[in-house]
């Protein structure tokens, strides 16, 4: 996976906040995974189970 390529379309404001350490990207990614109903292996488990699995990182 080419992370730089995936980050190119991000808004400058978000990239700047990330570069300055103002955004907890681990928590953001965990929240998105939870909202997609995915577990820590990227498998669909449903929203309720995903929320329980990710709550320690991304909040519920």
Q: What three-state secondary structure class fits 1?
A: coil
**Res 59: pLDDT:** 60
> Does this model's pTM top 0.85?
no
Q: Which two tokens stand for residue 29?
A: 């990614």
pLDDT surpassing 60 at residue 60: no
Q: Are 28 and 45 in contact (CB under 8 A)?
A: no
32 or 58: whose pLDDT is higher?
A: 32
SS3 of 9-47: the string is CCCHHHHHHHHCCCCCHHHHHHHHHHHCCECCCCCECCH
How much is the average pLDDT of 3-17? 95
**Res 57: pLDDT:** 85
Of the candidates 7, 15, 36, the one whose C-alpha atom is nearest the C-alpha of residue 58 is 36
Read off the pLDDT of residues 31-49 as tens digits, 9 standing for 90 and up. Answer: 999 999 999 999 999 999 9
């Amino acid at each position: 996976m080419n992370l730089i390529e995936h980050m190119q379309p991000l808004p400058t404001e978000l990239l700047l906040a990330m570069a300055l350490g103002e955004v907890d990207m681990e928590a953001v990614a965990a929240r998105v995974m939870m909202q997609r109903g995915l577990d820590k292996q990227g498998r669909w488990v449903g929203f309720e189970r995903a929320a329980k699995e990710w709550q320690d990182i991304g909040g519920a």
